[in-house]
Amino acid sequence: MNMTLLAVTFLPLVGALVLLLMDNQPSRRNPAVLRWTALGFSVFTFLLSLPLLLTFQTGAGFGSGDMSFVTDVLWIIPWGIHFHIGVDGISLPLILLTTFLTPLALLSGWTSIEKRQKEFLILMLLLETGMLGVFVALDLFLFYLFWEFTLIPMILLIGIWGSDRRVYAAIKFFLYTAVGSLLMLIAILALVVIHANQTGQYTFDLLALKAGLKLDPAAQIWLFLAFFLAFAIKVPLWPLHTWLPDAHTEAPTPGSVILAGVLLKLGGYGMLRYNLGLFPDAARTLAPAIAILAIIGIIYGALVSFAQKDLKRLVAYSSVSHMGFVVLGIFSLNPLGISGAVLQMVNHGLSTGALFMLVGVIYERRHTRLLSEFGGLGISMPIYAALMLIITLSSLAVPGLNGFIGEFAILQGAFATNWIYAAFATVGMILAAVYLLWMYQQIFTGEIKNPANAAVRDLNRREIWSLVPIVIMVFVLGLYPALFLNIIVPAAQSLASQVIQHAALTLQFPFLP
């Protein structure tokens, strides 16, 4: 039993219980008590997660069944359900992304969340445990519990603390995700029954199912599609993306940060862990069709972003485009593409999470997100303009910043599969430069024409503290991507080799020493 991974996963839950038991009376005398308690638990969770990176054994990968920091306890004996958790080179970077972003998201809503603050903080910590549970679960029953658990806090965060159309956005988010989750549940039960018929043993254990299950091609296709729909909705992949702009637009700033930064990554992670891991034949068969959907999403998301008048909706649609790159990398089915996809999920979480923080900053001051209301903010808010420029450049994948290596690897992986995929995806990169630089120009350049912009104050100390850690990581991962690639690449090679079973897939990643 590994206590470190257990503590990382469930410490936010402990923090939520502590907040629940805290009397509201002290919080009325000192409103910061609840906020500092939640922040303390989230920061401590991040600090506890760092030893996972420092002590991780490079080479551990799902493809070989070799997981690190494993806890495996038989939980519900009659059904063969295990409390089985562990990490590999695919899940560990996403765990670190979750623990890193959560305290920063709490800081971003430090003053903007005024009503029912205690309940808000409890839901944020519960959401963190749910997301971490998805990344560490190695039992399908446990995975499904955590997967569904993440929906409840996010729906409430949108529906209670969101903007004017928050109830509509929350219901739409619920309906989309519920349909996909129901199909995935049916597929999970089917897997367990098929395995029991073949082996005489009921088990939900992922590694046992992967090792012992034998599926005919038709069964693989149908089960693959049931899992894939749930994950594609979460990513979200075109044309299943329409819930995302509404959810982002209506969600409070911390909710948008976590939704874009981590929650979307649950879909990409699921495709890697389950679609490729359990159904390799179906993955090979359907990969070309999925790659086409990803490319459509890349170009569509970029074009629609350029048409937006609301800054938050622009950033939301940009996620559709950027996550299309992730799906393209995954279904290139080679180590370059898969490694780039995992790294790009981390990069997108950092860059887009920061963009939503920055949008929240200006909305608190001006109470509008319309691009037409801004212009010349570089004069009145120079620090804000500088940080926005760095994050914007990282989002459009400028060399030296975090976004470049991931997208470059994805394009290399796509080119190795089919050069046409890479050619069309490159168009999406060009369009990203257009709409992101156009956005920056609209907000910051030129003279101040709207008098309201002249009096806007620049970032305060708390806001700088919430953004600077992300900016630091933008440069760290841009200049030294091997920090994560050293652990991602072996797992990606192992997974890709099992999907394709071809010796050429053991090629070395060009950016590693």
344 CB contacts (<8 Å, ≥6 apart)?
Answer: 322, 325, 326, 329, 403, 406, 407, 409, 410
CB 358 within 8 A of CB 427: no
- Model confidence pLDDT, tens digit, residues 461-509: 888 999 999 999 999 999 999 889 989 988 888 888 888 763 333 334 3
Non-local CB neighbours of 17 within 8 Å, separated by 6+ positions? none
Q: Where are the domains of the chain?
A: 3-506
**Encoded tokens for 113:** 């969340």
Confidence (pLDDT) at 185: 93
Q: Determine the average pLDDT of the residues in 273-291.
A: 90
Q: Can you list the pairs that 19-23 forms with residues at least 24 positions away whose Cβ atoms lie under 8 Å?
A: 19/118, 19/121, 19/122, 19/125, 20/122, 22/118
- Token output for 434: 């257009």
48 by Cβ neighbours in 10 Å (0-12 / 13-18 / 19+) ranks as: middle
Identify the sign of the CA torsion 495, 496, 501, 504. Answer: negative
- Whole-angstrom CA distances from 355 to 165, 458, 473 are 22, 16, 14
Structure token pair of residue 129? 């445990």
- Residues 20-32: what's their mean pLDDT? 66
* pLDDT tier for residue 24 given thresholds of 50, 70 and 90: low
354 and 360 Cβ atoms separated by less than 8 Å: no
Where residue 137 falls among pLDDT bands split at 50, 70, 90?
A: very high
Residues 6+ apart with CB under 8 A from 239: 293
Return the pLDDT at 62: 47
Report the percentage of the chain scoring pLDDT > 70: 94
pLDDT at 270 over 90: yes
Taken in order 235, 239, 244, 249, the sign of the CA dihedral is: positive
Residue type, 430: I
Look at residue 30 and tell me whether its pLDDT is greater than 80: no
For residue range 142-163, list pLDDT tens digits in order. 999 999 999 999 999 998 888 7
Sequence letter at residue 154: M
Residue 113: pLDDT band with limits 50, 70, 90:
confident
Residues above pLDDT 90, as percent of the chain? 37
Whether 71 contacts 84, CB under 8 Å: yes
Given pLDDT bands bounded at 50, 70 and 90, which one contains residue 328? very high
Specify the pLDDT at position 192.
Answer: 87
Range scoring the smallest mean pLDDT among 37-51, 313-327, 487-501:
487-501
> Residue 61 above 60 pLDDT?
no
Burial of 505 (C-beta count, 10 Å sphere; 0-12/13-18/19+): buried
DSSP annotation of 80 reads T
Tell me what pLDDT residue 1 has. Answer: 65
Predicted confidence at residue 513, as pLDDT, reads 38
pLDDT surpasses 60 at 346: yes
Cα–Cα distance for residue pair 350/259, rounded to 1 Å:
12
pLDDT for position 26: 53
Confidence of residue 512 (pLDDT cuts 50, 70, 90): very low
Q: Is residue 5 within 8 Å of residue 87, measured between CB atoms? A: yes
Lowest mean pLDDT among 20-29, 202-211, 243-252, 393-402: 20-29
Q: Which of 239, 237, 482, 440 is nearest to 355 (CA)?
A: 440
Q: Which amino acid is at 97?
A: L
Comparing C-alpha atoms, which of 315, 379, 319, 358 is closest to residue 467? 358
pLDDT above 60 for 347:
yes
Tell me, what's the pLDDT at 350?
94
The continuous run of DSSP H or E covering 305 comes out as helix 280-306
Among 16-30, 100-114, 132-146, the minimum mean pLDDT is found in: 16-30
Contact 189, 141 (CB under 8 A): no
Mean pLDDT for the chain overall: 86
Tens of pLDDT, residues 171-225? 888 888 888 889 999 999 988 888 888 887 888 888 888 877 788 888 889 999 9
Please say whether the beta carbons of 493 and 331 come within 8 A: no
Residue of 343, 329, 168, 180 whose CA lies nearest to 245:
168
**Predicted pLDDT of residue 227:** 94
Mean per-residue pLDDT, 31-41: 87
Q: What is the pLDDT of residue 121?
A: 92
Confidence band of 75 (pLDDT split at 50, 70, 90) = confident
| Angle, vertex CA 195, rays to CA 193 and CA 196, nearest 5 | 65
The pLDDT-based confidence of 511 (bands split at 50, 70, 90) is: very low
pLDDT (0 to 100) of residue 42: 94
Among 215, 41, 236, 232, smallest CA distance to 128 is for 41
Please answer whether residues 414 and 291 qualify as being in contact, where contact means their C-beta atoms are separated by less than 8 angstroms: yes
Distance CA 421, CA 437 (A): 25
Q: What is the mean pLDDT of residues 248-273?
A: 90
Q: What's the pLDDT score for residue 31?
A: 66
